[in-house]
Amino acid sequence: MRSIPPDVLLSWPTANYIDPVTRGPALVIVNSIFIALVVIVASLRLYTRLFIKRWFGSDDACIVLALICTIALTAIVLLANIDYGWDRHVYDIVPTKIEPTLKIAMAAKIMFTSAATFTRLSLLCFYYRLIHDSGKQLVLWTIHANVALSIGIFVTFICLTIFQCHPIRYYWTFGSPAGSCMDEGKVTLAAGIINLIADLFCTVLPIPMVIKLQMPKRQRIAVVLLLSAGFIVVIAGIVRTWFIYQSLVVEYDLTWYSFPLWIAAAVEIDLGVICASAPVLRPLLSKLSFSLSAIRSQTLNSGPSSALRKPHSASESTVHATTQRWSYHKTYASPKTVFAQNREELAHYPTSGNEYELAQWAGISRGNRPISESMGGSQTAILGSEDGDGHAQVPAHQV
């Protein structure tokens, strides 16, 4: 534990263990809301991959690990806030709770670093698929460098968190010998800045590639905005880094000044998992959009006006009946039938399951046509590219 100068100790008021001033329930509220959103979005992501796409990628494995670490971080922070006084001045914490409070702080730092790392790795694994057939070697090696940076950050920060004091128990021991611990403020601040830079690299990385693609301007802007959601995470990281400086470098009242730090950390990590999962949800949104459209069409066709309308010809009557049967089948088909349809699409798609997933990105903008009607390179499949007649353009090397 960081040594507190005698003049600072003397300036503190008499401890109040009965009815201390607290920061209020803000930390509990923010953590509860954001972890609920994270669980919902991550569950939808896993449903999309396992039940709609019927495959599980390396980015999904990373996001599951990130989700586990995020839930653990939230549980640790809520426990510390409710039972160990993270919502009050450090001098109002019962002395017997100082040691467990610092142990919990170490565990929280480890979970934060793990969640941030696995979230970045999930995005980077997604970027690998995004460019895997583009031939852009510079971008590929840039992703390699970001992966190496993220793994290096993870290993280094975990080791610094655990072994910043020698022996380790001196971290939570009040009055530990001078020189037995590194300066926690400087170490944590440096870690926060480096983590912030890594998040910024991960956010900016795919944007130049998207900007250079030959596609309608409106679609290009939409994709850039989707990828730019990561800048919200970067802003939350800046706020968190500022409060690291305030609580661990400038001030000695650790729990009071680190209270907003843990709020910013929750926002940063939780939004990171949400932003990393958002691009994967498009196949689910495509299916929901199609289902709603089919239900609306069926409702209109079954209304009073449609009952009075007679087909102009026998062929129109046949087409109308066939369309109704197809809409009913697609809208009310059982999960087993839907899975069989997905397998049939995969069987007719001449590439890997990864490209099948990427091609689904174009589902909404292409009118939700079967995947066999909208094949292209990875970039075209992700972003959607249509000609003037509304048909997907297939790259020349695939014609």
Q: Per CATH, the architecture of 14-281 is what?
A: Up-down Bundle (1.20)
The pLDDT profile of the chain, 399 residues, written as one tens digit per residue, is 677 888 988 999 999 999 999 999 999 999 999 999 999 999 999 999 998 888 888 999 999 999 999 999 999 999 999 999 999 999 999 989 989 999 999 999 999 999 999 999 999 998 888 777 767 788 889 999 999 999 999 999 999 999 999 899 999 887 778 888 899 899 999 999 999 999 999 999 888 877 877 778 887 787 788 888 889 999 999 999 999 999 999 999 999 999 999 999 999 999 999 999 988 887 777 777 655 555 666 666 655 544 444 445 554 455 444 444 444 444 445 545 544 554 454 444 444 444 444 444 443 334 443 333 333 344 433 443 333 333 333 333 333
Between CA 197 and CA 289 the distance in angstroms is 37
248 token code pair: 């661990």
Q: What is the pLDDT of residue 237?
A: 93
- In the prediction, which pLDDT does 208 show? 84
CA 334/CA 340 separation, integer angstroms: 10
Q: Where are the domains of the chain?
A: 14-281, 284-398
Query: Would you say the pTM of this structure is higher than 0.85?
Result: no
pLDDT at position 129 is: 81
User: What was the pLDDT predicted at 222?
Assistant: 78
What per-residue confidence (pLDDT) applies to 390? Answer: 33
Integer Cα distance of 213 and 361 in angstroms: 15
Q: Which two tokens stand for residue 349?
A: 């798609």
Rounded to whole angstroms, the Cα distance separating 68 from 89 reads 30
The three-class DSSP label of residue 253 is coil
Judged on CB neighbours under 10 Å (0-12, 13-18, 19+), 385 is: buried
Q: Which pairs with CB-CB distance under 8 Å and at least 24 residues apart come from 132-137?
A: 132/354, 132/378, 133/355, 133/377, 133/378, 134/209, 134/377, 134/378, 134/379, 136/209
In angstroms, the CA 80 to CA 103 distance is 10
